[in-house]
Amino acid sequence: MYEFKENEIITLTAEDGSDVELEYMGQTEYQGATYGAFYPVPEEDEDILDADYDMVILKMYDLDGAQAFDMVEDDDLYDTLGEIFMDMIFG
């Protein structure tokens, strides 16, 4: 699995075909899976202090030798992982 550097910017393609830039904040293992915490990178004309972004939590795994991601769609799992990441990042 790819080793991300703290604050590394990645670009993912959304289901609608648009590109989304995310800043890597950290990762954790939970119930046998690896999850990463990311924050959307503000647009160039956006003031970062005015931006109201939620943390993006993605399940991370290897797919045929390439890094792959899935959105965490289960609300309870998202909340649990969110607490873990908030403690880890802002501790």
Q: Indicate the Cα dihedral angle 31, 34, 79, 85, nearest 10°.
A: 120
Digit-by-digit pLDDT tens for the chain (91 residues) are 678 888 899 999 888 999 999 999 999 999 999 999 999 887 776 655 555 678 899 999 999 988 999 999 999 999 999 999 999 988 7
Tell me, what's the pLDDT at 81? 97
Return the beta strands (E) in the chain as ranges: 9-13, 19-30, 33-40, 56-63, 66-71
How far is residue 1's CA from residue 21's CA, in Å, rounded to a whole number?
20
pLDDT at 47: 58
Question: In the prediction, which pLDDT does 79 show?
Answer: 95
Note the pLDDT of residue 89: 83
